[in-house]
Chain A
Amino acid sequence: MLGEFEYLLLTAAAQLGEDAYGAAIRQEIEDATRGRCSIGALYTTLDRLETKGLVRTWMGDPTPQRGGRPKRMVRVTAKGVRAARDFHAAVMRASRGVSWASNRVGTQP
Protein backbone atom coordinates (compact mmCIF):
# COMPACT_ATOMS: atom_id res chain seq x y z
CA MET A 1 0.00 0.00 0.00
CA LEU A 2 1.29 3.45 -0.93
CA GLY A 3 1.71 6.34 1.46
CA GLU A 4 -0.26 9.51 0.70
CA PHE A 5 2.83 11.45 -0.38
CA GLU A 6 3.90 8.56 -2.60
CA TYR A 7 0.44 8.66 -4.19
CA LEU A 8 0.67 12.44 -4.72
CA LEU A 9 4.05 12.02 -6.36
CA LEU A 10 2.88 9.21 -8.65
CA THR A 11 -0.20 11.23 -9.63
CA ALA A 12 1.86 14.34 -10.38
CA ALA A 13 4.35 12.34 -12.44
CA ALA A 14 1.54 10.60 -14.36
CA GLN A 15 -0.14 13.92 -15.11
CA LEU A 16 3.09 15.48 -16.37
CA GLY A 17 3.81 12.47 -18.57
CA GLU A 18 6.92 13.02 -20.69
CA ASP A 19 7.67 16.29 -18.86
CA ALA A 20 7.85 14.71 -15.41
CA TYR A 21 11.02 15.68 -13.56
CA GLY A 22 11.91 16.79 -10.02
CA ALA A 23 11.10 20.51 -10.10
CA ALA A 24 7.95 20.10 -12.22
CA ILE A 25 6.59 17.33 -9.96
CA ARG A 26 7.28 19.48 -6.95
CA GLN A 27 5.35 22.40 -8.49
CA GLU A 28 2.46 20.08 -9.38
CA ILE A 29 2.28 18.74 -5.81
CA GLU A 30 2.41 22.26 -4.34
CA ASP A 31 -0.41 23.37 -6.66
CA ALA A 32 -2.52 20.34 -5.79
CA THR A 33 -2.00 20.45 -2.03
CA ARG A 34 -1.66 24.24 -1.72
CA GLY A 35 1.17 23.46 0.65
CA ARG A 36 4.94 23.35 0.51
CA CYS A 37 6.79 20.32 -0.78
CA SER A 38 10.39 20.04 0.37
CA ILE A 39 13.11 18.83 -1.97
CA GLY A 40 14.22 16.38 0.73
CA ALA A 41 10.79 14.72 0.85
CA LEU A 42 10.54 14.73 -2.95
CA TYR A 43 13.86 13.07 -3.74
CA THR A 44 13.88 10.57 -0.87
CA THR A 45 10.34 9.48 -1.82
CA LEU A 46 11.38 9.21 -5.46
CA ASP A 47 14.26 6.94 -4.39
CA ARG A 48 11.86 4.80 -2.38
CA LEU A 49 9.40 4.52 -5.28
CA GLU A 50 12.22 3.60 -7.64
CA THR A 51 13.45 0.90 -5.23
CA LYS A 52 9.91 -0.51 -5.16
CA GLY A 53 9.86 -0.45 -8.97
CA LEU A 54 6.94 2.00 -9.15
CA VAL A 55 8.86 4.66 -11.10
CA ARG A 56 11.93 4.77 -13.29
CA THR A 57 14.26 7.79 -13.16
CA TRP A 58 17.15 8.92 -15.30
CA MET A 59 19.25 12.02 -15.88
CA GLY A 60 17.74 14.40 -18.43
CA ASP A 61 19.55 16.87 -20.62
CA PRO A 62 20.91 20.08 -19.08
CA THR A 63 19.00 23.26 -19.96
CA PRO A 64 20.12 26.94 -19.86
CA GLN A 65 17.08 27.72 -17.68
CA ARG A 66 18.63 25.43 -15.04
CA GLY A 67 22.09 26.95 -15.35
CA GLY A 68 23.26 24.09 -17.54
CA ARG A 69 22.38 21.46 -14.94
CA PRO A 70 20.53 18.21 -15.66
CA LYS A 71 17.00 17.19 -14.58
CA ARG A 72 15.99 13.98 -12.88
CA MET A 73 13.37 12.66 -15.28
CA VAL A 74 10.63 10.38 -13.94
CA ARG A 75 8.31 7.87 -15.54
CA VAL A 76 5.63 5.88 -13.74
CA THR A 77 5.94 2.14 -14.43
CA ALA A 78 3.03 -0.24 -15.00
CA LYS A 79 3.49 -1.47 -11.44
CA GLY A 80 3.31 2.16 -10.26
CA VAL A 81 0.06 2.70 -12.17
CA ARG A 82 -1.45 -0.39 -10.53
CA ALA A 83 -0.31 0.73 -7.06
CA ALA A 84 -1.77 4.23 -7.57
CA ARG A 85 -5.04 2.75 -8.88
CA ASP A 86 -5.29 0.43 -5.85
CA PHE A 87 -4.59 3.31 -3.47
CA HIS A 88 -7.20 5.52 -5.15
CA ALA A 89 -9.78 2.72 -5.06
CA ALA A 90 -9.06 2.10 -1.38
CA VAL A 91 -9.49 5.80 -0.56
CA MET A 92 -12.75 5.93 -2.53
CA ARG A 93 -14.09 2.85 -0.74
CA ALA A 94 -13.06 4.16 2.63
CA SER A 95 -14.61 7.56 1.91
CA ARG A 96 -17.99 6.19 0.83
CA GLY A 97 -20.76 7.79 2.86
CA VAL A 98 -18.66 10.28 4.81
CA SER A 99 -19.88 13.87 4.87
CA TRP A 100 -16.86 15.45 3.19
CA ALA A 101 -17.01 12.98 0.32
CA SER A 102 -20.76 13.14 -0.37
CA ASN A 103 -21.25 16.90 0.21
CA ARG A 104 -24.01 16.30 2.77
CA VAL A 105 -24.19 17.92 6.17
CA GLY A 106 -21.72 16.26 8.48
CA THR A 107 -22.28 14.68 11.84
CA GLN A 108 -19.38 16.39 13.54
CA PRO A 109 -20.21 18.82 16.38
Chain B
Amino acid sequence: MNRICWKLVDIVSRALEPGERDIVRGDFAESQQTGPQALRDVLGLVARRQMAPWHNWRPWLILAGLVVPLGLLLSLLSNHVASMNSVYSWMYFNNWDWSLLQHRAFWIVLAQTIVLVFPDILALICLSWAIGFTLGDLSRRTIPVNGVLFCLVLLFGALVAAPQYMRLQVHFMTLGFHPRNTGPDPVSSLTLYRVLFPVLVQIILVLLPSLLGMYKGARSHRLSLPLRMILWVLALGSMAVLAAMQGIWWVALVTQSRPWFHPIWQKPPWLLAIAGPVMYWLATAARKRHSGAGNPACSRL
Protein backbone atom coordinates (compact mmCIF):
# COMPACT_ATOMS: atom_id res chain seq x y z
CA MET B 1 0.00 0.00 0.00
CA ASN B 2 2.78 2.37 1.03
CA ARG B 3 4.71 1.61 -2.14
CA ILE B 4 1.65 2.16 -4.31
CA CYS B 5 1.04 5.49 -2.59
CA TRP B 6 4.64 6.60 -3.22
CA LYS B 7 4.30 5.57 -6.85
CA LEU B 8 1.13 7.68 -7.06
CA VAL B 9 2.94 10.57 -5.33
CA ASP B 10 5.56 10.34 -8.08
CA ILE B 11 2.91 10.44 -10.80
CA VAL B 12 0.77 13.19 -9.25
CA SER B 13 3.75 15.41 -8.42
CA ARG B 14 4.59 15.58 -12.15
CA ALA B 15 1.79 18.13 -12.38
CA LEU B 16 3.95 20.51 -10.29
CA GLU B 17 6.71 22.73 -11.61
CA PRO B 18 10.05 20.84 -11.55
CA GLY B 19 11.53 23.12 -8.84
CA GLU B 20 8.53 22.82 -6.57
CA ARG B 21 8.37 19.07 -7.15
CA ASP B 22 11.91 18.69 -5.84
CA ILE B 23 11.22 20.86 -2.80
CA VAL B 24 8.06 18.93 -1.91
CA ARG B 25 9.74 15.54 -2.37
CA GLY B 26 12.56 16.79 -0.13
CA ASP B 27 10.06 17.87 2.52
CA PHE B 28 8.48 14.41 2.44
CA ALA B 29 11.87 12.73 2.85
CA GLU B 30 12.85 15.01 5.71
CA SER B 31 9.60 14.72 7.65
CA GLN B 32 9.50 10.94 7.05
CA GLN B 33 5.87 11.02 6.00
CA THR B 34 4.02 7.82 5.18
CA GLY B 35 2.87 7.15 1.62
CA PRO B 36 -0.84 7.93 2.23
CA GLN B 37 0.00 11.18 4.06
CA ALA B 38 2.35 12.27 1.29
CA LEU B 39 -0.26 11.38 -1.34
CA ARG B 40 -2.93 13.43 0.45
CA ASP B 41 -0.53 16.36 0.72
CA VAL B 42 0.63 16.31 -2.87
CA LEU B 43 -2.95 15.93 -4.14
CA GLY B 44 -3.93 18.97 -2.07
CA LEU B 45 -1.04 21.02 -3.44
CA VAL B 46 -1.70 20.00 -7.04
CA ALA B 47 -5.41 20.79 -6.65
CA ARG B 48 -4.59 24.23 -5.22
CA ARG B 49 -2.10 24.90 -8.02
CA GLN B 50 -4.62 23.84 -10.67
CA MET B 51 -7.40 25.93 -9.13
CA ALA B 52 -5.28 29.08 -8.73
CA PRO B 53 -5.60 30.31 -12.37
CA TRP B 54 -9.39 29.92 -12.16
CA HIS B 55 -9.56 33.01 -9.92
CA ASN B 56 -8.97 34.92 -13.14
CA TRP B 57 -11.72 35.46 -15.78
CA ARG B 58 -9.65 34.14 -18.72
CA PRO B 59 -9.93 30.37 -18.06
CA TRP B 60 -13.70 30.80 -17.62
CA LEU B 61 -13.91 32.61 -20.95
CA ILE B 62 -11.93 29.83 -22.66
CA LEU B 63 -14.10 27.19 -21.00
CA ALA B 64 -17.40 28.82 -21.95
CA GLY B 65 -16.29 30.25 -25.29
CA LEU B 66 -14.10 27.46 -26.66
CA VAL B 67 -14.02 24.19 -24.69
CA VAL B 68 -17.79 23.62 -24.49
CA PRO B 69 -18.91 24.83 -27.96
CA LEU B 70 -15.92 23.33 -29.80
CA GLY B 71 -16.32 20.01 -27.97
CA LEU B 72 -19.99 19.87 -28.91
CA LEU B 73 -19.35 20.87 -32.54
CA LEU B 74 -16.59 18.25 -32.88
CA SER B 75 -18.95 15.65 -31.38
CA LEU B 76 -21.59 16.58 -33.87
CA LEU B 77 -19.16 16.38 -36.77
CA SER B 78 -17.82 13.06 -35.49
CA ASN B 79 -21.33 11.69 -35.17
CA HIS B 80 -22.06 12.74 -38.74
CA VAL B 81 -18.87 11.11 -40.04
CA ALA B 82 -19.69 7.98 -38.00
CA SER B 83 -23.21 7.76 -39.40
CA MET B 84 -21.82 8.07 -42.95
CA ASN B 85 -19.14 5.47 -42.29
CA SER B 86 -21.39 3.08 -40.42
CA VAL B 87 -23.20 2.33 -43.69
CA TYR B 88 -19.92 1.45 -45.40
CA SER B 89 -18.66 -0.50 -42.40
CA TRP B 90 -21.89 -2.46 -42.30
CA MET B 91 -21.68 -2.99 -46.04
CA TYR B 92 -18.18 -4.46 -45.82
CA PHE B 93 -18.03 -6.17 -42.41
CA ASN B 94 -21.58 -7.49 -42.00
CA ASN B 95 -21.88 -8.67 -45.58
CA TRP B 96 -18.38 -9.86 -46.15
CA ASP B 97 -17.72 -12.56 -48.68
CA TRP B 98 -14.19 -13.52 -49.73
CA SER B 99 -15.35 -14.20 -53.26
CA LEU B 100 -16.00 -10.45 -53.62
CA LEU B 101 -12.26 -9.96 -53.98
CA GLN B 102 -12.38 -11.65 -57.35
CA HIS B 103 -14.83 -9.14 -58.79
CA ARG B 104 -13.49 -6.03 -60.47
CA ALA B 105 -16.62 -4.11 -59.49
CA PHE B 106 -15.81 -4.67 -55.80
CA TRP B 107 -12.46 -2.92 -56.15
CA ILE B 108 -14.02 -0.05 -58.07
CA VAL B 109 -16.67 0.45 -55.39
CA LEU B 110 -14.04 0.13 -52.63
CA ALA B 111 -11.88 2.79 -54.30
CA GLN B 112 -14.92 5.07 -54.65
CA THR B 113 -15.77 4.51 -50.99
CA ILE B 114 -12.24 5.37 -49.88
CA VAL B 115 -12.25 8.53 -52.02
CA LEU B 116 -15.61 9.46 -50.53
CA VAL B 117 -14.81 8.69 -46.90
CA PHE B 118 -11.10 9.46 -46.53
CA PRO B 119 -11.26 13.29 -46.86
CA ASP B 120 -13.89 13.47 -44.08
CA ILE B 121 -11.83 11.24 -41.79
CA LEU B 122 -8.64 13.19 -42.49
CA ALA B 123 -10.43 16.51 -41.98
CA LEU B 124 -11.90 15.36 -38.67
CA ILE B 125 -8.50 14.16 -37.38
CA CYS B 126 -6.79 17.40 -38.49
CA LEU B 127 -9.56 19.58 -37.09
CA SER B 128 -9.48 17.77 -33.74
CA TRP B 129 -5.71 18.15 -33.57
CA ALA B 130 -5.92 21.85 -34.46
CA ILE B 131 -8.63 22.49 -31.85
CA GLY B 132 -6.59 20.61 -29.23
CA PHE B 133 -3.51 22.64 -30.18
CA THR B 134 -5.42 25.91 -29.87
CA LEU B 135 -6.86 24.96 -26.47
CA GLY B 136 -3.45 23.78 -25.24
CA ASP B 137 -1.77 26.97 -26.42
CA LEU B 138 -4.43 29.37 -25.12
CA SER B 139 -4.89 27.72 -21.72
CA ARG B 140 -1.43 26.38 -20.94
CA ARG B 141 -1.72 26.67 -17.15
CA THR B 142 -5.24 25.28 -16.99
CA ILE B 143 -4.83 22.57 -19.60
CA PRO B 144 -5.12 19.60 -17.17
CA VAL B 145 -8.53 20.85 -16.00
CA ASN B 146 -9.59 22.06 -19.44
CA GLY B 147 -8.43 18.78 -20.98
CA VAL B 148 -10.57 16.73 -18.58
CA LEU B 149 -13.55 19.06 -19.15
CA PHE B 150 -13.06 18.81 -22.93
CA CYS B 151 -13.11 14.99 -22.66
CA LEU B 152 -16.32 15.19 -20.58
CA VAL B 153 -17.92 17.52 -23.15
CA LEU B 154 -16.94 15.07 -25.91
CA LEU B 155 -18.42 12.19 -23.92
CA PHE B 156 -21.63 14.14 -23.33
CA GLY B 157 -21.68 15.07 -27.01
CA ALA B 158 -21.13 11.49 -28.18
CA LEU B 159 -23.71 9.91 -25.88
CA VAL B 160 -26.39 12.59 -25.53
CA ALA B 161 -26.13 15.84 -27.49
CA ALA B 162 -25.08 14.66 -30.97
CA PRO B 163 -27.55 11.71 -31.18
CA GLN B 164 -30.38 14.00 -30.00
CA TYR B 165 -29.39 16.66 -32.54
CA MET B 166 -29.19 14.09 -35.35
CA ARG B 167 -32.59 12.72 -34.33
CA LEU B 168 -33.98 16.25 -34.48
CA GLN B 169 -32.46 16.75 -37.94
CA VAL B 170 -33.90 13.48 -39.20
CA HIS B 171 -37.30 14.35 -37.70
CA PHE B 172 -37.50 17.73 -39.45
CA MET B 173 -36.01 16.32 -42.63
CA THR B 174 -38.71 13.64 -42.69
CA LEU B 175 -41.38 16.30 -42.23
CA GLY B 176 -39.89 18.56 -44.89
CA PHE B 177 -38.64 16.40 -47.72
CA HIS B 178 -39.43 12.73 -47.22
CA PRO B 179 -42.90 12.45 -45.69
CA ARG B 180 -43.23 8.76 -46.56
CA ASN B 181 -39.81 7.72 -45.33
CA THR B 182 -40.48 6.16 -41.94
CA GLY B 183 -38.92 3.45 -39.83
CA PRO B 184 -35.30 2.80 -38.89
CA ASP B 185 -32.80 1.70 -41.53
CA PRO B 186 -31.08 -1.71 -41.17
CA VAL B 187 -27.76 -0.20 -40.10
CA SER B 188 -28.90 2.14 -37.35
CA SER B 189 -31.24 -0.53 -35.97
CA LEU B 190 -28.09 -2.39 -34.83
CA THR B 191 -26.85 -1.24 -31.39
CA LEU B 192 -23.25 -1.69 -32.53
CA TYR B 193 -23.61 0.89 -35.28
CA ARG B 194 -26.07 3.15 -33.46
CA VAL B 195 -24.23 3.46 -30.11
CA LEU B 196 -20.80 1.85 -30.05
CA PHE B 197 -19.54 2.84 -33.49
CA PRO B 198 -20.00 6.64 -33.03
CA VAL B 199 -18.21 6.45 -29.66
CA LEU B 200 -15.33 4.49 -31.20
CA VAL B 201 -15.11 6.94 -34.10
CA GLN B 202 -15.07 9.82 -31.64
CA ILE B 203 -12.30 8.22 -29.55
CA ILE B 204 -10.09 7.46 -32.54
CA LEU B 205 -10.77 10.47 -34.77
CA VAL B 206 -11.45 13.18 -32.20
CA LEU B 207 -10.28 12.37 -28.67
CA LEU B 208 -6.81 11.01 -29.43
CA PRO B 209 -5.86 13.70 -32.00
CA SER B 210 -7.20 16.51 -29.79
CA LEU B 211 -5.27 15.23 -26.75
CA LEU B 212 -2.13 15.05 -28.89
CA GLY B 213 -2.86 18.58 -30.13
CA MET B 214 -3.28 19.81 -26.53
CA TYR B 215 0.05 18.24 -25.60
CA LYS B 216 1.77 19.98 -28.52
CA GLY B 217 -0.11 23.24 -27.90
CA ALA B 218 0.89 23.36 -24.24
CA ARG B 219 4.53 23.14 -25.37
CA SER B 220 4.18 25.49 -28.32
CA HIS B 221 6.06 28.41 -26.72
CA ARG B 222 9.02 27.46 -28.91
CA LEU B 223 7.01 28.48 -31.97
CA SER B 224 6.67 32.11 -32.93
CA LEU B 225 3.50 33.98 -32.00
CA PRO B 226 2.46 34.80 -35.62
CA LEU B 227 2.61 31.12 -36.56
CA ARG B 228 0.61 30.14 -33.48
CA MET B 229 -1.94 32.84 -34.24
CA ILE B 230 -2.33 31.52 -37.79
CA LEU B 231 -2.97 28.05 -36.33
CA TRP B 232 -5.60 29.45 -33.91
CA VAL B 233 -7.33 31.34 -36.75
CA LEU B 234 -7.37 28.26 -38.99
CA ALA B 235 -8.76 26.03 -36.23
CA LEU B 236 -11.37 28.49 -35.02
CA GLY B 237 -12.17 29.56 -38.60
CA SER B 238 -12.86 25.92 -39.56
CA MET B 239 -15.23 25.57 -36.64
CA ALA B 240 -16.94 28.88 -37.46
CA VAL B 241 -17.44 27.68 -41.06
CA LEU B 242 -18.81 24.40 -39.72
CA ALA B 243 -21.25 26.21 -37.42
CA ALA B 244 -22.32 28.51 -40.27
CA MET B 245 -22.85 25.47 -42.51
CA GLN B 246 -25.13 23.96 -39.91
CA GLY B 247 -27.07 27.22 -39.89
CA ILE B 248 -27.38 27.20 -43.70
CA TRP B 249 -28.55 23.58 -43.54
CA TRP B 250 -31.33 24.48 -41.12
CA VAL B 251 -32.37 27.57 -43.11
CA ALA B 252 -32.52 25.41 -46.26
CA LEU B 253 -34.62 22.87 -44.42
CA VAL B 254 -37.05 25.42 -43.01
CA THR B 255 -37.41 27.30 -46.30
CA GLN B 256 -37.49 24.00 -48.24
CA SER B 257 -34.79 25.41 -50.51
CA ARG B 258 -33.70 22.25 -52.27
CA PRO B 259 -30.60 23.61 -54.09
CA TRP B 260 -29.10 24.55 -50.71
CA PHE B 261 -30.28 21.45 -48.94
CA HIS B 262 -27.35 19.20 -49.66
CA PRO B 263 -25.25 16.81 -47.52
CA ILE B 264 -22.17 18.92 -48.32
CA TRP B 265 -23.35 21.39 -45.69
CA GLN B 266 -22.82 18.69 -43.06
CA LYS B 267 -19.26 17.95 -44.13
CA PRO B 268 -16.13 19.38 -42.49
CA PRO B 269 -14.37 22.21 -44.37
CA TRP B 270 -11.48 19.93 -45.07
CA LEU B 271 -9.08 22.32 -46.84
CA LEU B 272 -9.25 24.72 -43.89
CA ALA B 273 -9.05 21.81 -41.46
CA ILE B 274 -5.88 20.26 -42.81
CA ALA B 275 -4.10 23.60 -43.38
CA GLY B 276 -3.28 24.03 -39.66
CA PRO B 277 -1.58 20.67 -39.01
CA VAL B 278 0.25 20.84 -42.37
CA MET B 279 1.60 24.30 -41.48
CA TYR B 280 2.66 23.09 -38.03
CA TRP B 281 4.38 20.07 -39.54
CA LEU B 282 6.23 22.19 -42.11
CA ALA B 283 7.24 24.76 -39.49
CA THR B 284 8.56 22.20 -37.00
CA ALA B 285 10.35 20.29 -39.77
CA ALA B 286 12.01 23.53 -40.96
CA ARG B 287 12.90 24.42 -37.36
CA LYS B 288 14.50 21.02 -36.77
CA ARG B 289 16.43 21.36 -40.01
CA HIS B 290 17.72 24.82 -39.10
CA SER B 291 18.62 23.90 -35.52
CA GLY B 292 20.29 20.76 -36.88
CA ALA B 293 22.43 22.99 -39.06
CA GLY B 294 23.39 24.91 -35.90
CA ASN B 295 22.02 28.25 -36.97
CA PRO B 296 20.94 30.04 -33.76
CA ALA B 297 19.27 32.85 -35.71
CA CYS B 298 16.68 30.37 -36.94
CA SER B 299 15.98 28.73 -33.58
CA ARG B 300 12.67 30.62 -33.44
CA LEU B 301 10.41 30.53 -36.45
Contact = CB atoms under 8 A, between A and B. Distances in A.
Q: Do A and B bind each other?
A: yes
A65 B30 contact: yes
Contact of B52 (A26, A44, A63, A67): A44
B27 A67 contact: no
A102 B139 CA distance: 53
A62 to B, nearest CB: 7
B112 to A, nearest CB: 59
Interface residues of B, number: 21
B23 A71 contact: yes
- How many interface residues does chain A have, given as a range? 20 to 34
Nearest to A23: B27
Contacts of A44: 45, 48-49, 52
B25 interface: yes
Interface in A38-52: 38-41, 43-44
A94 B31 CA distance: 37
A31 to B, nearest CB: 13
B26 A69 contact: yes
A25 to B, nearest CB: 10
Contacts of B25: 67, 69
Nearest to B43: A40
Across the A-B interface, give the 5 residue pairs with the lowest CB-CB distance, nearest first.
A69-B26, A40-B44, A66-B26, A40-B45, A67-B29
Interface of A: 22-23, 26-27, 38-41, 43-44, 59, 62-63, 65-67, 69-72
